[in-house]
Chain A
Amino acid sequence: MTIATTTAAAPPGRAHSTSIWNSWYPFVVPPMIVILIIVVLPTIQLVSNSLYRWSLLSGLKRFDGLGQYVAVLTDSLFTGSLLRTLIYTITVVTVELVLGLAVALLFTRDFLGIRIVRTLYLTPMLMVPIMVGLLWSLMFQPSIGIVNYVLSFFGIEPVLWLASSTLALPAIGIAEIWQWTPFVAIVFVAGLQGLPENVVAAARLDGATRLQRLLTIELPMMRNVIAIVFLLRFIDVFKTFALVYIMTRGGPGRSTMVAGFYPWEVGFSQLLMGKASAAAFILMNLISLMTFVLLKLVFTERDSQ
């Protein structure tokens, strides 16, 4: 190793062991400076932009105090989007967890070629999210889409999925579930296989049925795995942007206007930069707060283990 030869170049004697170059500063400070520049500065910029009534269309930029925050919070499009997003997120994540668990249970059985089957199952997750949005736009397309074609076998009349204000958001939800259930499943497989085998085997010897074992032993023991999956999926779905952008742009009407899309709508469609900044700052803090609360809720008992 080169350690011995290069030591000569270091400051002489034992002095360097106490110098600043041997402390945490040179390791932690440079990345922190970068983070300050790329995260903290933009955030300050965001807040300062949010204090102006600022339209890119007219070029008007006038100090407005907290006026833009009032404008966002009293905008029914925003408050409505929050409620809609919350319901959407909880529904989608719940379905993903249940389906993911079911698939994971299938995958824990070993057979020849299981690795290939699992990899194939992960395909949706590997697709660029935009691609998933496009694929499902195609599937839900009223005239050439396959969804209506399949439904016709069950005697269901053609449905205008993405053009319907009641069905558009569920359709987006289906795309989201289709792409991310494999993720939930593969993590649960890892969780199930990570359980101590003697406990599971003991329960089996005691005559516990498959369902009993799952509900009383495996799921409680996987609590942390379930929690982390829930947290990651919840935050990701809450931030939904790409699917909405590609499939409906918030329409028809405001039926698919979700919280993650609202700042874009205001900033880059209505070109109101001040209001968009205020909305983005509110959203950012809301997500931070939710992450914090979820982490607290979910990991309160973790430290004691």
Chain B
Amino acid sequence: MAFTVVVVLTWLLPILWLINVSLKTQKQLFVATPTFIFEPTFENFSIAISQYGILWNALHSFIIASGTTVMTLFLALLFIYGITRFRFRFRNPLLMWILNLRMLPPIAIVIPFYVVYTSIGLIDTYRGMIIAYLPLTLPLAVWLLYGFAKELPQSIDEAALIDGASRWQIFRDMTFPLMRPALAVAGTFTFLEVWNEFVLALILTGPRTKTVPIGLSEFITEHAVEWGPMSAAALMLLLPLLVVTYFLQRSLVRGLTLGAVR
């Protein structure tokens, strides 16, 4: 047990170091030997907020990630219902193709999006970003929901069909409520995917929709790197995620392996 704790703490040393840096002034930081006992300052946190607008970036990220998540879950749930409740040709090839899309390098998607968006004015808009993220998030959500949907008993559907319900009624009144926990998991992962994404954001966002990863990358300027404020920003953005993870631990593995391991 003690050994486990030591291993974990060693692994987390970089983060402890990050905390250390975030509490120092530029002057305290640039000394030959790092100090561990010093008078902490919180000015880096206020610089990150007021000068770098890290909270604005968080807001942009939040809007884009939420919008993408809602669109993604709606489309993925429809698709999943169709694919798990009906047998038709190309069903399996279709699923495999969607899984393959999950592996698509964002850099391949972003070039055509960039070319089209610059000509129709969707660069640096929430609409544009939400659409551009769907190719990444839809395959993820489809695969996550697929695992759950397969396990829902078909017999409920069949019973309802015999009672004269239409497929839409079954979808809306039975499948949707039953899938709610699965949607929560898929929604969280879709949200995180967008929150973390860098390539698309780098090329398709601008001052009005700049997301967190882009905001963070701007702490490196031509002249210097603002290590203190950068560390402060990093820590502020980490805390909410840590809380979420603590409660999500069980579904985390399932989500991260596209439903393959639980």
Contact = CB atoms under 8 A, between A and B. Distances in A.
Nearest to B256: A183
Q: Which size bracket describes the interface of A in this complex?
A: 35 or more
Contacts of A146: 13, 17, 34
With most chain A CB atoms within 10 A of its CB, the pick from B163, B196, B257 is: B257
Contacts of A138: 17-18, 21, 225, 227, 230-231
A139 B131 contact: no
A34 B138 contact: yes
Contacts of A276: 111
A292 to B, nearest CB: 7
B33 interface: yes
A46 B112 contact: yes
Nearest to B81: A27
Contact of A135 (B163, B234, B252): B234
A57 B35 CA distance: 48
Given A35-B138, A43-B112, A144-B227, A129 B8 contact: no
A235 B106 CA distance: 12
Interface string B56-93: 00000000000000000001101101110110100000
Interface string A42-78: 1101100100000000000000000000000000000
A136 B227 CA distance: 11
A25 to B, nearest CB: 8
Interface residues of B, number: 96
B101 to A, nearest CB: 6
A2 B66 CA distance: 30
A66 B139 CA distance: 31
B238 A144 contact: no
Contacts, number: 272
A120 B167 CA distance: 45
A242 B242 contact: no
Interface of B is mostly: helix
Contacts of A23: 86, 167
Contact of A246 (B7, B220, B231): B220
Interface string A3-39: 1101100100000110001111111101110110011
A132 B132 CA distance: 24
Given A109-B4, A121-B11, 20 more contacts: A3-B163, A6-B169, A7-B165, A24-B85, A39-B135, A41-B112, A49-B112, A107-B4, A117-B4, A120-B8, A121-B8, A135-B234, A138-B17, A139-B14, A232-B258, A242-B198, A246-B217, A263-B108, A280-B107, A288-B104
List 3 A-B pairs, minimum CB-CB distance, nearest first.
A27-B82, A24-B86, A28-B82
Interface of A: 1-4, 6-7, 10, 16-17, 21-28, 30-32, 34-35, 38-39, 41-43, 45-46, 49, 103, 106-107, 109, 111, 114-124, 126-131, 134-139, 141, 143-144, 146, 149, 178, 181-183, 186-187, 189-191, 194, 224-225, 228-229, 232, 235, 239, 241-242, 245-246, 260, 263-264, 267-268, 273, 276-277, 280-281, 283-284, 287-288, 291-292
